[in-house]
Structure 1
Amino acid sequence: MPITDELKKTLTDPTPLYALAGAGDLAYEKLREVPGKVEEITSDRRAAQEKASARLQEAQARLVEAQAKVTETVTTLPTDLKVLQEKAQSFALQQVGRAAELAVRAKEVYDELAERGKVVVDRGRKETAKQIGEKDATFQSKVSAAADGVAETVAPAEKPAAAKPSTAPKPRTAARKSTAGKTSES
């Protein structure tokens, strides 16, 4: 009978109903707070709109100031095009002179580097030729020493043995019959 006791206890336990009632009450409480939150959000939005409007007005004021400065700058520019043209030509001639000076200096540096490189190459060639001469002399002395050593090992009194005739039998070849003397009898 314990199963029926458990079933009876489960069906008569009011705890799930209490939990449901508590959830409903919490939902009602939160829904009552909604109008206050909506009003708060609306007031925040209004404040944000007011800030944005103030910033927009500031930006427009700055734009007007900038336009006034641009207009003032344009009006103060020299209106005489000949003066501007002369200034531009003068500036261009100055730059051409500077470019010519730089070209001359570049040529001088180039020539200096070429001369320096020639000295370095000549020095390298001399050192290489000297090293080759030293190596050649060393090689020649080694060759002479080797030749002297070979000459000493071969006695001058000894003559190479004369070639003796070979005693090996020569291979025999089969004699061929001569067909020149035969005539054909057809």
Structure 2
Amino acid sequence: MMLTSTFRDSKAFYAAAGAGDLTREKLREVPDQVTKARESANRYQGEVRENLDRYRDQVRHTVDRYRGELRENVGRLEVKDVPGAAVAYVTNVGTRTVDFIDGLAERGKKVVHREAEEIAEITERPAPKPRSAQQKRTGAAAKKSQS
């Protein structure tokens, strides 16, 4: 088996191709998103300022309330529960990471195979036959006689 086919059969190769394709897709969306965000910011700028002034005191009160609740809950935290919570969190992150990489690999397979088919089509087309010097002269003479 050739090195290129071994390399192409690896999940990392397909995941990298999928990541590149996903990046390309998302970067194409950026200009439209920036334009929409700019329009929204201009449209709602005055309304946001009014709301900030109106709700400033309410937000301060809510933050103070949550600070008090947080202080109470920190006292209830038991150290023996931390490792179990950490394991659950890391397991969840690991599972989601594997799913994400598998998704990129599947996307990459599609991209690689699509590109390979396009290259095969290009290489299978018969190349245009080069014109001989006699044909070029005959063609040039025909053009001059038409003028």
Check whether TM > 0.5: no
TM-score, normalised by the number of residues in structure 2: 0.39
TM-score, normalised by the number of residues in structure 1: 0.32
Q: Which has the higher contact order (CA 8 A, sep 6+)?
A: 2
